[in-house]
Amino acid sequence: MKFAPFFFALGLAMNAWAADAAAGKGSADAAPSAEEIQTIRKILELPPERLSRIRGAIEHIEKMPLGARKEFADKLAKFETATPEERRKLTKELRERGGFSGRVLEHYFKSLPPEKVKEERARINGLSPEQRQEFIRQQAERFSVELAKEGEKKSGGEKKAVKRPKGDETHPEGSATTPPEGSATTPPPVIQ
């Protein structure tokens, strides 16, 4: 009975391939390749939380345009052939570029005891996208002050100038912009 789930999954896959062939999506004798069978077998060995992550990744990939898929495939190939040290470096770079959500989660995990991180990461990965987004929003509110300080440290403590659209009359203190003509703070024109 150990093989029952495998044969069930294989049967489902073969039905899907047969339906694709009947719909004209593939050749009439399109049978699953050895690689496809091996992939299904490996999928059957995964724990539920990994299956959930893979499902999310597949759904994300399905929505990608072809150009983005190609770019992603190239990055994966580079990652696959990298040495363990290069993989750690690439992973670190990806996390750093992960944007705000990544920074929030990283800060959250740093606030936990080391033995709880793996368990909590699995729990978060098991959430639906909407639940995960809500969780990240809550943590962002919780750590907003720390995240702001962290951002200032990374930028060297300097506050970046905010670009404002033309015609915006709200100026930061010490702004070198001149107020609109005709306002009370505009000096009178000089007559020569």
In a domain, 73, yes or no: yes
In a domain, 119, yes or no: yes
As given in the structure block, the two tokens for residue 48 are: 């539920």
Same domain membership, residue 29 and residue 6:
yes
Report the distance separating Cα 155 and Cα 118, nearest Å: 30
Length of the chain: 192
Q: Which domain holds residue 60?
A: 49-89
> What pLDDT shows up at residue 172?
44
Per-residue pLDDT band for 103 (boundaries 50, 70, 90) equals confident
> What pLDDT shows up at residue 178?
46
In a domain, 14, yes or no: yes
32 contact partners, CB below 8 Å, separation of at least 6: 10, 13, 14, 17, 40
User: Structurally, how many domains does the chain consist of?
Assistant: 3
Same domain membership, residue 71 and residue 26:
no
In a domain, 112, yes or no: yes
Same domain membership, residue 128 and residue 143:
yes
> What pLDDT shows up at residue 107?
85
Q: Are 128 and 59 within 8 A, CB to CB?
A: no
Sign, CA torsion 21/25/30/35? negative
Report the distance separating Cα 175 and Cα 86, nearest Å: 45
pTM for the complete prediction?
Answer: 0.36
In a domain, 55, yes or no: yes
Residue 90 to residues 27, 36, 72, 82, 107, Cα–Cα distance (Å): 40, 28, 14, 9, 19
Same domain membership, residue 119 and residue 72:
no
CA angle 38, 39, 44 (to 5 degrees): 100
Report the distance separating Cα 53 and Cα 48, nearest Å: 9
As given in the structure block, the two tokens for residue 60 are: 């994300």
In a domain, 179, yes or no: no
The residue out of 89, 121, 142 marking a domain boundary is: 89
In a domain, 175, yes or no: no
Report the distance separating Cα 108 and Cα 20, nearest Å: 45
pLDDT tens digits, one per residue of 130-179: 788 899 889 988 888 887 777 666 655 555 444 444 444 444 444 444 44
Same domain membership, residue 6 and residue 33:
yes
In a domain, 186, yes or no: no
> What pLDDT shows up at residue 161?
45
Place of tokens 């983005």: 68
pLDDT tens digits, one per residue of 48-82: 999 988 888 888 888 878 888 898 888 888 888 98
